[in-house]
Structure 1
Amino acid sequence: MELDITQKSYKKLSFEVAPTGVSFCVFDLISQHVLHYKHYDIDPNNVLEEALWKVFVENPILAERYDEIVVLHNSNLNTFVPTSLFDPNHLGSYIQYDSKVFETDYFAYDYLDTYELNNVFIPYTPINNYLLDHYDSFDYKNCNSIFVKKALDYSKNKDFKQVWVHFQKDRFEIVVTKNQQLLLFNTFLYQTLEDFIYFLLFTYEQLQLNPEVVPIQFIGAISEDNDYFKMAYRYIRNCTILDVTALQNTLQVNKKAILRHFILFHS
């Protein structure tokens, strides 16, 4: 049921949930400013629901009323399918080639309407069930839907290939675009600097991308002082951190936070 104007809070709550961390932020829907955000690192050996319980106990703001609630599943259990090849009745058949699936798995998908793409993914069902104990309803999606959409948006009228990397603590997502066409999406798990640069240069090689010409831009938990960025910069001539100056003015959040929580802040 749609709220009337007297019931609206004009605030939106977004969660980002991964086995290694939980983040949330509160938006003012009128100004688009971020009113509050917080991140919790989680030991992947711990139960994620227990970590969420702690987040709720420590943050009474989560019990307030919100006009919108969005839950982002930060998972690499996903794959992109063009609408021309997509059948929503066979979601598991798309993802089984990229991820190990089980009969008990639940599948969902995000539709990127502007680009005629569908992101098939396996949500963290226990997390959705936990949050349903706190909220009547919410929307949920896969983080990579937002990452790919923003990369495609940024590539508009750029009639050359570009590489985009979402850098995280244990893995990174890589997207290759050309004027709003998705040429590649992939995820790589890494443990060392050598793993990271190998996968990065392997992608350049497989797609015949010239590291002297094709630019790469980073978002995520990375900065120009980061060893991983320095390694990429050593081998790729046009290597930069995404310029988020305009977003700083809109969101009223510092640059480091915008880069780290780029997906969350675009939810």
Structure 2
Amino acid sequence: MQRLTEIGSKIEATISHIDPNLELNKAKSCHLSIQVNLDGFSYAILNLQEQKYIALEHYDIQNIISYSDLSEQIDLIVNKKELLQQNFVSTSVGIAHTINTLTPKALYEEENGKEILAFNHLLLQNETETRDWIQAIQAFNSYFIPEELERCLNKHFKNILWKHDSSILIESLIHQFKLQEGERVYISIQNKSFDITILESKHLKFFNSFSYKTAEDLIYYLLFTYEQLQLNPDQTPITISGEIEEDSEVYKLLYRYIRNISFTKRNPNYNYSFVFDQTKEHFYYKLLNQHLCVS
């Protein structure tokens, strides 16, 4: 079973951008951001004194279906990567799965949090609900943290701040595009899922996550959303983030139906090492905005 890109006993990152001037003993002045899902593990390191990102790596994890298996793979990565064994001043984890529910503050009751989450999703008996408070939209985002994953990461890192990746996405988009006028559609594309966020200035009008297998699946869900919200594909612009190339089938199909397409830029609140020039600016948008949402 293929899981990680591994040569002998050496685990290889699919993407690796590490500033050559990075010093391990300076980790105590750095924040570690981690993003994890069932098919990948990514991390970025932010020098807090300089507000500068100095490292980013991504590991593809294939052919696993459980968080127990995922935790084993993360153990392998951390145990082999000296950089991840340092004492960072703070650590955050963005968990990426589609089992989450947004609830306005006025309708949310903490004692009924699991029932709220279970209303839209099938939960296992031992899964407990946790939540993010999203100040910008005055709403709670309910989700669960798999026990196996929580134990695994707590073993390696101290005082983790958890966030659901949809919370990070919503907060980041509102922060970055709050001065934009009119309705705008934002899609964040992952390997097997994508998120649609619709903003009007700083107001959230719509958010949903979809699983997809083909480019046709993605465009179907997107155009269905346009239709339901009475948006005109010729007039309402779309902004893309995530690991998508312009020569991909997804992008080509998007451009066939929606001509006003742009990509997100990196957050100007931070500086970026020259090694980040090797990665397009719209890649790893949620990972590189994670610190903004936990600080």
TM norm. shorter chain > 0.5: yes
Give me the CA root mean square deviation: 2.0
Q: How many residues align?
A: 260
Contact in 1 for aligned 2:267/2:289 (Cα 8 Å): no
Q: Which residue of 2 aligns with 1:141?
A: 163
Deviation at 1:74, TM superposition (A): 1.0
Q: For 2:259 and 2:218, how far apart are their aligned partners in 1? A: 17
Aligned to 2:126: 104
Report the CA distance between 1:259 and its aligned residue: 2.2
Q: Deviations over 1:141-179 (max 9, x none)?
A: 111101011222233233411111010111101111112
Does residue 176 of structure 2 align to residue 154 of structure 1?
yes
2:106 and 2:98 mapped to 1: Cα distance?
23
Q: Which residue of 2 aligns with 1:193?
A: 215
Q: Which residue of 2 aligns with 1:12?
A: 31
Cα distance in 2, alignment partners of residues 78 and 155 from structure 1: 24
Q: Distance in 1 between matches of 2:54 and 2:181?
A: 37
Between the aligned partners of 1:205 and 1:181, the Cα distance in structure 2 is 20
Structure 2: distance between partners of 1:125 and 1:245: 32
> 1:246, CA displacement in angstroms?
4.2
Q: 1:89 aligns with which of 91, 111, 119?
A: 111
* C-alpha distance in 1 between matches for 2:148 and 2:99: 15
Distance 1:257 1:23 in 2: 16
CA contact (8 A) 2:27 2:86 kept: no
CA contact (8 A) 2:188 2:241 kept: yes
Deviation string 1:75-99 (CA, Å, 9 cap, x unpaired) is 1111111112221221122222332
Gaps of 5+ in 1: 1-6
The amino acid across from 2:257 in the alignment is: Y
Give me the whole-angstrom Cα distance separating, in 2, the residues matched to 1:257 and 1:130: 31
Task: Tell me which residue corresponds to 2:10.
Answer: none
The answer to whether structure 1 residue 264 and structure 2 residue 287 are counterparts is yes
Separation in structure 2 between the aligned mates of residue 70 and residue 127 of structure 1, nearest angstrom: 14
Q: Extract unaligned runs of 5+ from structure 2.
A: 1-25, 291-295
Matches for 1:171-182 after TM superposition, within 5 Å: 171-182=193-204
Distance 2:117 2:28 in 1: 38
Q: Equivalent pairs: percent with the same residue?
A: 26
For 2:56, what is the secondary structure of its paired residue?
Answer: strand
Structure 1 residues 8, 173: closer, same or farther in 2, change over 3 A?
closer
CA offsets 1:45-70 (integer angstroms, 9 cap, x no match): 26101111111122111111111011
Displacement of 1:258 in angstroms is 4.2
Following the alignment from structure 1 to structure 2, what is the Cα–Cα distance between the partners of residues 113 and 246? 21
